Amino acid sequence: MTTYETLRADIITAMKARDTATATALRTMDAAIQRAAMDSSKPIDEALAIATFRKAVKNLTDARNEFEKGGRADLVAANNAELAILEKYLPKGLDAAKLEALVAEVIAATGATSKKEMGKVIGALKQRPEAGLLDFGAASKLVQAKLP
């Protein structure tokens, strides 16, 4: 069962249980995934669903940090609750050793020798089967550190 199929099934379960917070969060993600598919003119697949979940989690995390700075404990609690719901759908990422090995392998495969070729390395990483598990922020920092 794909992430999107799981999401759709969980929406029905939350609605039957009258769990409005979960149902609302999941319906919002369903709409975001459908919008992303429409914008990209691609069918909904695993990569699109995971990317949309990652974007939503990042946006919620950023908003939570701003709410904390503003002293809005009520909004921080709401964001934390929604984050807890959405993070269940994200796959476990690669550990640091596997990420480092993957980056080294891709650098060697692309023949990159300087930071000017960083885009080529990141592009090659995005084509890998492990791309759905990657945190591209961490991968980018690692590529920068490895290339002179």
Is the domain of 21 the same as that of 47?
yes
Q: Which pLDDT score, from 0 to 100, does residue 113 have?
A: 78
Is the domain of 11 the same as that of 69?
yes
pTM over 0.75: no
Q: What is the pLDDT of residues 7-32, one digit of tens each?
A: 999 999 999 999 999 999 999 999 99
Is the domain of 10 the same as that of 78?
yes
Q: What is the pLDDT of residues 121-131, one digit of tens each?
A: 888 877 776 66
Distances (CA, A) of 35 to 40, 100, 109, 137: 9, 34, 35, 24
Structure tokens at 8: 């759709």
The alpha helices in 17-135, defined as continuous H runs, are 20-40, 46-70, 73-87, 96-110, 118-127
38 compared with 120, residue with greater pLDDT: 38
Q: Which pLDDT score, from 0 to 100, does residue 15 have?
A: 96
* Domain carrying residue 126: 96-146
Q: What is the pLDDT of residues 51-79, one digit of tens each?
A: 898 899 889 999 999 999 998 998 999 99
Is the domain of 72 the same as that of 110?
no
Mean pLDDT over 113-123 rounds to 81
Is the domain of 80 the same as that of 36?
yes
Q: Indicate which CATH number applies to the domain containing 124.
A: 1.10.10.410
Is the domain of 105 the same as that of 128?
yes
Is the domain of 76 the same as that of 115?
no
Q: Which pLDDT score, from 0 to 100, does residue 143 have?
A: 81
Q: Which pLDDT score, from 0 to 100, does residue 131 have?
A: 66
Residue 37's pLDDT band (cuts 50, 70, 90): very high
Residue 132's pLDDT band (cuts 50, 70, 90): low
In residues, how long is the chain?
148
| Region of residue 135 (left: phi > 0; alpha: psi -120 to 50; beta: else) | beta
Is the domain of 78 the same as that of 103?
no
Domain boundary among 87, 115, 137: 87
Is the domain of 7 the same as that of 43?
yes
